[in-house]
């Protein structure tokens, strides 16, 4: 198995990212068939750490942050063939290294990953709240 190379930046080919999401199962919970949304997700994230094996994207940590107080780790995905090798843990470590020491890292866990996060130092928080997206795209467009 080749060494994994980690990079920071969101200048990624959309198809490469979508393929990773599909091969990590995160594609089951992300709009991978909506190219414009996926493009915006990648381009507007202000901290993206990726993992590469011989030129193949095998992992991604996509965050939105102010770099000082809070970072929301919106997506953590590792290609199924590369899971259980420490790549997700290292993506989180690299994300934290890009943040100031005063910065909280928060996330919503995928159901299958609930057991993973406590093992690497995350604490469960009982007061997280989620509001579903608007279903009528015209509502959002009129507020832009």
Q: Which domains does the chain have, with CATH numbers?
A: 5-142 (3.40.630.30)
Mean pLDDT of the chain: 90
Q: Angle at which helices 14-24 and 35-44 pack, to 10 degrees?
A: 100
Among 77-81, 109-113, 128-132, which is the least confidently predicted range? Answer: 109-113
130-143 average pLDDT score: 66
Cα separation, 46 vs 121, in Å, equals: 23
How would you class 60 by CB atoms within 10 Å of its CB: exposed for 0-12, middle for 13-18, buried for 19 or more? buried
- Would you give the end-to-end CA distance of the chain in angstroms? 47
Cα separation, 65 vs 35, in Å, equals: 23
Radius of gyration of the chain (CA): 15
Give yes or no for a contact between 61 and 117, defined as CB atoms under 8 angstroms apart.
no
Give yes or no for a contact between 32 and 70, defined as CB atoms under 8 angstroms apart.
no
Number of other residues whose CB lies within 10 A of the CB of residue 65: 22
Annotate 106-125 with b (16+ C-beta within 10 A) or e (fewer). Answer: ebebbeeeeebbeeeeeeee
Does the pLDDT at position 140 exceed 80?
no
Tens digits of per-residue pLDDT, 87-116?
999 999 999 999 999 999 998 887 777 788
Query: Model-level pTM?
Result: 0.86
139: phi then psi, degrees, rounded to nearest 5: -60, -45
Tens digits of per-residue pLDDT, 41-75?
999 999 999 999 999 999 999 999 999 999 999 99
């Amino acid at each position: 198995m080749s060494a994994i190379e980690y990079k920071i930046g969101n200048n990624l080919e959309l198809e490469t990212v979508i393929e990773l999401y599909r091969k990590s199962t995160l594609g089951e919970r992300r709009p991978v068939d909506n190219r414009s949304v996926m493009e915006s997700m990648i381009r507007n994230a202000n901290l993206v750490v990726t993992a590469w094996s011989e030129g193949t994207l095998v992992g991604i940590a996509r965050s939105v942050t102010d770099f000082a107080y809070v970072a929301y780790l919106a997506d953590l995905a590792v290609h199924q063939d590369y899971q259980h090798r420490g790549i997700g843990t290292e993506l989180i470590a690299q994300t934290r290294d890009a943040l100031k020491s005063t910065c909280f890292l928060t996330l919503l866990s995928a159901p299958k990953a609930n057991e993973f996060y406590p093992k690497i130092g995350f604490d469960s928080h009982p007061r997280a709240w989620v509001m579903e997206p608007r279903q009528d795209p015209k509502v959002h467009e009129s507020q832009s």
